[in-house]
Amino acid sequence: MVALASDATEQGALLVLVRTEDTAVPEEHLAAALELWDLVTAHREGLRNEAAPEWLALSRAAAAARAVAISDLGDAHGSALTALLGVLRDRSLGDGDARTRAIDLAVTALAHLRSRAELDHAMAEERVGTAFDRLGASLTRVLRPRGVQLELGRPGAEEGADRVLPADVAATARAVVRAVVHTMLDDQRQVRRIHVGWKIDAAELRATVRDDGPGALSRAALDSRRVAERLAPLGGQLAVDAVPGWGTAVTIHVSLGPPDTPREDPLTVLGARELEVLAQLALGRRNRDIAGELHISESTVKFHVANILEKLGVTSRGEAAALAHEWGATAPR
């Protein structure tokens, strides 16, 4: 009998093989078998962490549990007030007895309410540092068997580590970052290092994911993983900045408040030719390719790109492309 234990999942995974031979298994064979088992369990962990329908079911179950907790809070408030009112109306009790009984009821009710309130907060909120540590642990279990180095830029006090996040924001940010990481590994070769960082300000959580790969990751690859779709309910956005030979940086923005009211289309400031160039940018094309497609010189393309970045108030081609996707400028208007 051979037992292989993998720590690529939070709960651990054990594989027991029953052998028909009594000879010992060579150490090199055991090491290879354990690596394969780590890969299998890491893959399953990745699927579980991609916010698939199972994750939605868990989210709905948590929402239902929170609804029950809130209902219990209301019932507990009502019961406490009714009990106190009963004591105050009981004419058979003297002032001292009524006071003692009322204090006992109030202390018991406060303890009961506090425990339920803590349960509700646990379901509805999560500290930034704790949420990031959970993300780091899940990524470590997935990347370690694949030989990919993970660098974690854990938020400190200045980056909002002690702040409290709505649970749906924390869960969405983790799921989106994991989806980006999996896309970087599955759609590119030669990725050996990935850096993940979070920063929180008054309005949003901003996550960055960078790799040292070939810089070939496209926005379409992330769309196929439904990354933008997962961000949409929270008014989130993402930008992809891939530099051939230098790697890819993905920036994710998740609003901490309710989605903003409808904004005015920011692309209205662009001219017709600039919209054509922006549509080509959104497809991930280089200046030389854009020049050939639009039958203009490469220097003219550079001029238009500079104007587009300035008019849209962005600093990179990836951010401009993100706006193009958000506002449907993937083809000339």
Residue tagged 């991930």 (tokens): 284
Which CATH code of 3.40.50.1370, 3.20.20.70, 3.30.565.10, 2.40.10.120 fits the domain covering 127-255?
3.30.565.10
Residue tagged 């702040």 (tokens): 163
pLDDT > 70? residue 110: no
Are 274 and 307 contacting, i.e. CB atoms less than 8 angstroms apart? yes
Residue 104 in tokens: 């006992």
Cα dihedral sign for 164, 199, 230, 235? positive
Q: What is the mean pLDDT of residues 174-187?
A: 89
pLDDT > 50? residue 14: yes
Residue range 70-95, pLDDT digits in tens: 555 566 566 666 766 676 677 777 77
Residue range 275-296, pLDDT digits in tens: 999 989 888 889 999 999 999 9
Are 62 and 170 contacting, i.e. CB atoms less than 8 angstroms apart? no
User: What is the architecture, at CATH level 2, of domain 266-326?
Assistant: Orthogonal Bundle (1.10)
pTM comes to: 0.50
> Which residues lie closer than 8 Å to 102 by C-beta, 6 or more apart?
84, 87, 88
Least confident of 203-217, 221-235, 268-282: 221-235
Q: Which DSSP category does 283 fall into?
A: T
Q: What is the mean pLDDT of residues 208-234?
A: 85
When comparing pLDDT for 19 and 48, which is higher? 19
**Annotated domain spans of the chain:** 2-48, 53-124, 127-255, 266-326
- Percentages helix, strand, coil for the chain (3-state, rounded to 5) are 55, 15, 25
Average pLDDT, the chain: 78
User: From CA 320, how far away is CA 161, in angstroms rounded?
Assistant: 30
127-255 matches 266-326 in fold = no
Residue 3 in tokens: 């037992």
